[in-house]
Chains A and B, each alone.
Chain A
Amino acid sequence: MPVAGVDVGSVAAKAVILDEISLTPLGAAVLPTGWNPREAGEKALAAASADAGNVAPRFVAATGYGRVSLPFADKVVTEISCHAAGAVHLFPETGVVLDIGGQDSKVISTDPDGSVQDFLMNDKCAAGTGRFLQVLSGILDMDLPALGEAAAHGKPAAISSMCAVFAETEIIGLLARGVPPADVAAGVFLSIARRMRSLASRIPMRGQCTFTGGLAMSPAFRNLLAAELGVPVNVPPQPQLAGALGAALLAARISRK
């Protein structure tokens, strides 16, 4: 029987359908969240069900910041437990999960069974999250691949601000002083990677490191993060789906009982 995980984040709504016994992926979908998390969750689930060949999941677990707004969810779980479960399923040697989402970043220490041993999250401020890159993307008028391309070749400009709002002012100041956009992009990438490193340094590093969330889609950023951490970093083929996959795995576990 198919089961589903739905992850409604601040930027994207994701859904994954699994077979509850074999845990084989049957379908998946990613859609922009927009202003209505409930509708986005419904649409993502419908799209993933269609992708799986019009199946009706018998159990749905919801996660992400929109998790409580989904009336069809049989179980609500935090994204921390879901990213842990998803990452350990994809890379069984995982001991630490790094997740950078739209509005927060997390470092999660995991057990071999995919459960959470400890975790840390960024503070209220959005610096060091996907939101920070959205700001940069707006100022430089480049999308994530273009930003990555630019950052890979730029000489990182120093970005001192710890706050996404002040960083925007700082970025505009750098551009006004004639600093090339590629150097600004490289500077922002480096500042996010360093914030992640400092968050990760508060959790003991053991096992492999797996990187999930939307920002992991940027090859330039994951290379930089691996270099900053000084360890190789696993990245799933669809890092954005790791949370929804984790939710689907937990749905399968509950549904089988």
Chain B
Amino acid sequence: MPFKSLETFNTVTDRNVLALQEAKAAGRKVVGQYCIYSPLEIALAAGAIPVSLCGTKNDSIAIAESMLPRSLCPLVKSSFGFALQDSCPYLAASDIVVADATCDGKKKMYELLNDYKPVVLLQLPQIQNEDAALYWRGQFAGLVARLEKEFSVSISREKLLDAVRLTNRLRRALKGVLDLARRKPSPLSGMDILSLCFRASFMPDYEQCIALLDDIAREIANAASAEAQTECPRILLTGVPTGMGSHKVVQLLETCGARVVCIDNCTCYKKVLLQMDETRDPLSELADRYLATHCSVMSPNPHRYEVLEALARDFQVDAVVDLTWQGCQTYDVESWSVKKFVREKLSLPFLQIVTDYSETDTEQLKVRIEAFLEMLA
């Protein structure tokens, strides 16, 4: 990748662990978070650093299977394995983990995780209506009280609003970068997008992150369009979270000749959809916005289709690929409805890929992906 700002971003984020440890040594508290439903803003308002935790590598799965069933999804197993073998520096640095009862596998795993780190489990409702939003606000209020007690701080409305303003800026900055891929041809590869979102999620200094992302957006926006290269099929990837270590499908799609231009999942584009209204009661606004996230645990899950339609249009995609981790029942079942929607309403080709983090099915996936791309040609 020839972009200087992207190289700078990589150099800075290579030091994420070090920067977090320095901040901790200087007295900052660290709140580890797994899921997009866990709000960054409450930890920020408590003066702590919210940071993502590891869960995207295959290496930690074997040890996790000493306690967890093999048939569980790789994301849950990988996350737990990192805790068992104490190999996630972000988890090690965390004073507390904020998690939410997203799916059955996760919530039962968090019960076990509690033996290794204190876990605050937010009870996520699985429907998006007013009652649920009110209940969810109650969970957030509980988190406020818990962090106030843990860290001996007081979380005022003003502090929450400051946090909301900060994360809004962060998400706008990230959106500015991700939206560069709307251009035809896209200046960013899917692997660039995935790596960038992944690295940003571990960055302790949010202001620095915003500045770096703005630099990337500025440099690439001003760069001349790439010389007339032949345009690859543009893919919208939707479904389960991905990160470095669980990137194989993005990589395979691109080595087989496609370009992943948008990743509609919790680790990438779903994040930038969380824009808060800065004029409302912050806890109500946080509860409403976070609850609106279109994860397949929601039933029904109408926003999934609205977002797919908008992204397919905005990113001018040629096809949709739905990624499902083995054992993730909600995404696996929902894939049927997504397929129907993509084919019938969006009139786009659709492929579901069910796999895990291992390399064992690479050849079979290649056949599937190559055949899908041959179909698009």
Contact = CB atoms under 8 A, between A and B. Distances in A.
Interface of A: 65, 77-81, 104, 115-119, 121, 123-124
Contacts of B360: 124
Interface string B53-78: 00000000000000000000000000
Nearest to A68: B366
A117 B367 contact: no
A118 B368 CA distance: 11
Contacts of B364: 104, 121, 124
B58 to A, nearest CB: 15
Nearest to A80: B371
B363 interface: yes
B367 A115 contact: no
Interface residue range, chain B = 10 to 19
Contacts, number: 33
B131 interface: no
Interface in B351-367: 354, 360-361, 363-364, 367
A78 B354 contact: no
A80 B375 CA distance: 10
B363 A81 contact: no
Most buried by B among A78, A79, A117, A119: A78
B227 interface: no
Interface of B: 349, 354, 360-361, 363-364, 367-368, 370-371, 374-375
A195 B107 CA distance: 34
A80 B374 contact: yes
A78 B370 contact: yes
B253 to A, nearest CB: 14
Sort A-B residue pairs by CB-CB distance and give the 3 closest, nearest first.
Answer: A80-B371, A78-B371, A78-B370
A119 B371 contact: yes
B374 A124 contact: no
A77 B374 contact: yes
A115 B361 contact: no
Most buried by A among B354, B364, B368, B375: B375
Contacts of B367: 65, 78-80, 104, 121
A117 B363 contact: no
Contacts of B374: 77-78, 80-81, 116
Nearest to A122: B364
A118 B354 CA distance: 16
Contacts of B371: 78-81, 116, 119
A123 B375 contact: no
B375 A117 contact: yes
A124 B361 contact: yes
A123 B354 contact: yes
B363 A116 contact: no
A251 B370 CA distance: 17
13 contacts: A78-B367, A78-B370, A78-B374, A81-B374, A104-B367, A116-B371, A116-B374, A116-B375, A119-B375, A121-B367, A121-B368, A124-B361, A124-B364
B308 to A, nearest CB: 18
Contacts of A79: 367, 371
A80 B370 CA distance: 9
Nearest to A77: B374
Nearest to B376: A116
A113 to B, nearest CB: 13
Contacts of A80: 367, 371, 374
A117 B374 CA distance: 10
Contacts of A119: 371, 375
A151 B249 CA distance: 41
Nearest to B361: A124
A87 to B, nearest CB: 14
Contacts of B370: 78
B249 to A, nearest CB: 14
